């Protein structure tokens, strides 16, 4: 599916292939995808506890979830410029440090205002790291001369599953969010210090060359970006609200944590197998089948409003969403309207902005009509993916 020439940044073509295709280098890049999933899921599963500790309602949670947007929007929009100026190796490391710092601040926040500030830092780190680590993955994909992008996103989902399971277990054991998130931060910091050395280093000229300040899609990339936004809206909203959804339909706190676990777990399985799947059925069919599974899974969860049935729906939705975003990034890299690196950055930017802005909007909607009915917005997003897949995947 993803030809090497179209899925990477030309800044890295001077790095010798035998050095960049090392499995150790691949593992190093994969760690930062895992870090992103671990940090996000460990914070997400403690939302109910933090809500109760700070006496927050759903509207206030929705407002707080807007705080990461403030940090992420600025750095996501500037990510192409920062990467072209400093290189994705450096920006990945900086983003990781910001994320690690922020989850400590989240756990120890004594008030809603402090929590909002911590979430701004969290969003800034995630926004910067998400774009730059995808740039690293796209660069390495060229050296391998075969599709590996989906596997990196699979590691992200695997990190989310592990984080939600371990976080749910620690929550059920009564460990306070402050100690839980501090422990996670220490482990992630150790991993970052070990892995950062093997990230791909761009040529010196890339570190001196500045790119455009903002990168927006062109031509059909707007359509690809719109599907990416719909895809990541579903993914991000399921991550933030799945535990509360299950709680609202009668699940216990410990059981509710399984919502995020099964969703991210099914996404991890789908993405780890996704490169072969996309090559087998093609990008258009992959998008259509994924959208169909998303519609069925979310529809089942909303219709029956039972914890057990909702978990089944989350599994189907996770399998459906699994390969969509990596597939869209590869389609963007093949589009002739822009260079591969800027095309990937522009589409990824639309996706990650949606992931950060969508869940807070869902929170406001849930406050007005209830969380179960608000999930219909996710069902509509899956329908958008299904109906737009053919047009987006045209050459």
The confidence score (pLDDT) of residue 380 equals 93
Mean pLDDT of 159-180: 88
Domain boundaries along the sequence of the chain: 4-200+208-392
Q: Which tens digit of pLDDT belongs to each residue from 260-303?
A: 778 878 888 888 888 888 888 888 888 999 999 999 999 999 88
**Confidence band, pLDDT 50/70/90 cuts, at residue 378:** very high
The confidence score (pLDDT) of residue 83 equals 79
The pLDDT of residue 110 is above 80: yes
**Confidence band, pLDDT 50/70/90 cuts, at residue 382:** very high
Over the chain, what is the mean pLDDT? 82
Q: Which residues contact 149 (CB under 8 A, 6 or more apart)?
A: 2, 7, 137, 138, 141, 275, 326, 329, 330
**Confidence band, pLDDT 50/70/90 cuts, at residue 142:** confident
The pLDDT of residue 235 is above 60: yes
The pLDDT of residue 181 is above 90: yes
**Confidence band, pLDDT 50/70/90 cuts, at residue 204:** low
Q: Which residues contact 106 (CB under 8 A, 6 or more apart)?
A: 43, 50, 115, 118, 119, 122, 177, 181
Q: From residue 366, give the alpha-carbon distance in Å to each of 35, 66, 143, 326, 360.
A: 29, 15, 46, 29, 10
Q: Which residues contact 353 (CB under 8 A, 6 or more apart)?
A: 69, 72, 73, 76, 229
The confidence score (pLDDT) of residue 68 equals 83
Q: Which residue has the higher pLDDT, 107 or 256?
A: 107
The confidence score (pLDDT) of residue 76 equals 73
Mean pLDDT of 321-349: 80
Tell me which fold the domain 4-200+208-392 belongs to. Answer: Growth Hormone; Chain: A; (1.20.1250)
Q: How far apart are CA 224 and CA 108, in angstroms?
A: 39
Q: How far apart are CA 266 and CA 295, in angstroms?
A: 16
The pLDDT of residue 8 is above 60: no
């Amino acid at each position: 599916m993803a030809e090497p020439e179209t899925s990477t940044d030309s800044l890295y073509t001077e790095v010798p292939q035998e050095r960049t295709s090392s499995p150790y280098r691949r593992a190093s890049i994969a760690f930062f995808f895992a870090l992103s999933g671990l940090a996000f899921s460990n914070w997400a599963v403690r939302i109910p506890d933090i809500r109760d500790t700070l006496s927050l309602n759903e509207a206030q949670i929705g407002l707080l979830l807007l705080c990461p947007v403030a940090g992420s929007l600025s750095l996501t929009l500037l990510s192409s410029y920062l990467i072209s100026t400093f290189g994705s190796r450096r920006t990945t490391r900086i983003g990781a440090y910001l994320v690690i710092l922020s989850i400590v601040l989240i756990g120890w926040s004594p008030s809603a205002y402090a929590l909002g500030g911590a979430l701004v830092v969290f969003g800034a780190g995630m926004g910067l790291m998400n774009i730059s680590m995808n740039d690293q993955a796209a660069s390495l994909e060229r050296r391998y001369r075969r599709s590996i992008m989906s596997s990196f996103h699979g590691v992200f989902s695997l990190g989310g599953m592990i984080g939600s399971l371990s976080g749910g277990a620690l929550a059920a054991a009564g460990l306070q969010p402050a100690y839980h998130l501090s422990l996670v931060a220490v482990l992630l910091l150790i991993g970052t210090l070990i892995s950062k050395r093997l990230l791909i280093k761009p040529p010196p000229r890339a570190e001196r060359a500045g790119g455009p300040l903002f990168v927006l899609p062109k031509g059909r990339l707007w359509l690809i970006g719109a599907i990416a936004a719909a895809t990541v809206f579903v993914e991000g909203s399921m991550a933030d609200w799945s535990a509360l959804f299950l709680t609202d339909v009668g699940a216990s706190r410990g059981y509710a944590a399984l919502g995020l676990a099964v969703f991210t777990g099914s996404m991890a399985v789908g993405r780890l197998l996704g490169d072969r799947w996309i090559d087998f059925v093609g990008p258009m069919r992959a998008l259509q089948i994924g959208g169909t599974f998303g519609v069925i899974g979310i529809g089942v969860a909303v219709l029956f409003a039972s914890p057990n049935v909702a978990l089944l729906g989350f599994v189907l939705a996770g399998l459906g969403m699994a390969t969509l975003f990596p597939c869209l990034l590869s389609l963007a890299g093949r589009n002739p309207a822009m260079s591969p690196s800027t095309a990937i950055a522009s589409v990824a930017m639309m996706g990650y902005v949606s992931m950060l802005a969508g869940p807070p909007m869902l929170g406001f909607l849930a406050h007005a009509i209830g969380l179960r009915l608000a999930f219909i917005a996710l069902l509509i997003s899956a329908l958008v993916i299904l109906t737009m897949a053919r047009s987006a995947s045209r050459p």
